[in-house]
Amino acid sequence: MSDFLVIGGGIIGLLTARELTAAGARVALIDKSETGTESSWAGGGIISPLYPWRYHDAVTRLASWSQQHYPELCEELAELSDVDPEYTGSGLLILDNEEQAAAVLWAEANDKRLEVVGGERIRRLEPGLGDVPDQALWLPDVGQVRNPRMVRALRQTVGRLARITERSEVLELLVNDGRVAGVRTPEGRLEADRVIVCAGAWTAQLLEQLGSRPEIEPVRGQMILFYAQPGDLQRIVLHQDRYAIPRRDGRVLFGSTLEHGGFDKSTSAEVREALHERAVDMFPVLRKAAVEKHWAGLRPGSPSGIPYIGAYPGIEGLYFNAGHFRNGVVLGPASARLMADIALGRDPIVPPRAYAMDADRRA
Ligand SMILES: Cc1cc2nc3c(=O)[nH]c(=O)nc-3n(C[C@H](O)[C@H](O)[C@H](O)COP(=O)(O)OP(=O)(O)OC[C@H]3O[C@@H](n4cnc5c(N)ncnc54)[C@H](O)[C@@H]3O)c2cc1C
């Protein structure tokens, strides 16, 4: 029997399994579909929250830890697998200026490089922009990963150390005398005396059978992908909640929407049209590029975006690491380390209280 059973093989479950195996634990991971095909595949891969000053310190702490470790993590994954997650330090250019003072204060308090830049500098940083505002915020240290590659690299490396079962859904968490005993799947029962729920947007559904449930609900995000050429865009650019992410091969992601509509992952022609219009308006250079793909993913939405990481109250051996909302890729490495610290009784990398089930998550 394994020491831990991880439910869910998105970026959070895979990174959690990686941390536990690194500490010598025997780990099994189970996913209802294929690992890394839900939100963690659909996301943008920006290694920073959008408008990072708007978030609670509990989010900034995890983001900062991850940001420090991402380049090394991606190098390691590229070496150990045949997939390079393509960590790229593109920098983040934010064209909104209404919250400049708050942004500067946040950067000073958190030791982040953030500059207010003027028109000419903006043009030099991103020649692909159409209209250039008088001022913008420039965060040169923000990177990105190609998240579908990141999860593939993780799947390969974790798969060598943990037992991964795909296409098997956990239907029920089994509890005996206040202790977790395992899970029920369509294929039968799996015994486990320590279970970590990393089921993304589906986490609340699974935990509500036991009484208290985290406030996690699916929030759909639609995204389009332009078949653009290398050099067409250079930077991650954000304006009024829409952003462009240029990949190394020239492709450009543009997104994304925030839609509350249950577990519906469908896309709509209107959104595709609206995203396309906004993208070519911001970046005329994209007019010549075809839209190669359009998709939607279900973010694990949580109040204020503070994830739930910790022990489930009243049931020994049951833990959760979920609810990362818009920031699961950037928060993932730190969340996984913190989860392992808690479950293994180590000193935690950050104070864990803010991520408990009953912590106050309202902004
Ligand atoms: C359009 C979009 C853009 C985004 N951009 C960014 C970004 O730029 N930067 C960033 O940091 N984050 C971004 N995100 C958010 C990020 O993608 C998510 O926060 C992150 O992927 C959540 O990871 P997860 O592992 O918790 O969830 P998921 O990747 O959804 O994984 C959950 C897994 O659990 C499995 N599962 C669920 N229920 C069960 C069950 N009962 N039994 C077995 N398995 C189960 C699912 O099959 C799934 O594989 C974006 C998200 C979207 C949708």
- What span, in angstroms and rounded, lies between the C-alpha atoms of 101 and 72? 33
Give residue-wise pLDDT tens across range 19-44: 999 999 999 999 999 999 999 999 99
- Residues within a 6 A CB radius of ligand 1: 7-13, 30-33, 38-40, 42-46, 169-170, 198-202, 206, 221, 223, 255-256, 297, 299-300, 322, 324-330
* Cα 332 to middle of ligand 1, angstroms: 10
C-alpha span between 315 and 308 (Å, rounded): 16
pLDDT at 362: 78
Q: How far is the CA of 354 from the centre of ligand 1 (A)?
A: 21
pLDDT of residue 265: 96
CA–CA dist 131, 133 (Å, integer): 7
Among the atoms of ligand 1, which is closest to the Cα of residue 243?
A: 8
Give the pLDDT of residue 363.
Answer: 66
Mutate to test the pocket of ligand 1, among 51, 326, 335 (most ligand atoms within 8 A of CB): 326
Please calculate the CA angle 71-73-79 and round it to the nearest 5 degrees.
105
Which of 19, 30, 40 has the most ligand 1 atoms within 8 A of CB, as the residue to mutate? Answer: 40
Which ligand 1 atom is nearest residue 201's CA? 30
pLDDT in tens, 193-207: 999 999 999 999 999
| Protein residue with its CA nearest to atom 12 in ligand 1 | 327
Name which residue sits closest to atom 20 of ligand 1, judged by CA: 328
Long-range own/partner contacts, residues 189-192 (CB < 8 A, 24 or more apart): 190/5, 190/28, 190/30, 191/1, 192/1, 192/2, 192/4, 192/5, 192/28
pLDDT one-digit tens code per residue, 99-152: 999 999 999 999 999 999 999 999 999 999 999 999 999 999 999 999 999 999
Adjacent-strand bridge partners of 118: 135
Complete DSSP assignment for 51-91 = SGGGS-HHHHHHHHHHHHHHHHHHHHHHHHSS-----B---
237 confidence band (pLDDT: 50, 70, 90) = very high
Ligand 1: which of 6, 19, 30, 38 to mutate, most ligand atoms within 8 Å of CB? 38
Tell me whether the omega of the peptide bond preceding residue 256 falls within 30 degrees of 0, making it cis: yes
Spatial contact of 207 and 229, defined as CB atoms under 8 Å apart: no
pLDDT digits (tens, 9 = 90+) for 283-339: 999 999 999 999 999 999 999 999 999 999 999 999 999 999 999 999 999 999 999
User: Average pLDDT in the 334-351 region?
Assistant: 98
Neighbours of 120 (CB within 10 A): 9
Measured CA to CA, the distance from residue 44 to residue 148 in angstroms comes to: 9
State the Cα–Cα distance between residues 191 and 195, nearest whole angstrom: 10
Cβ atoms 219, 325 nearer than 8 A: yes
Distance CA 359, CA 177 (A): 26
pLDDT band at 1 (very low <50, low <70, confident <90, very high): confident
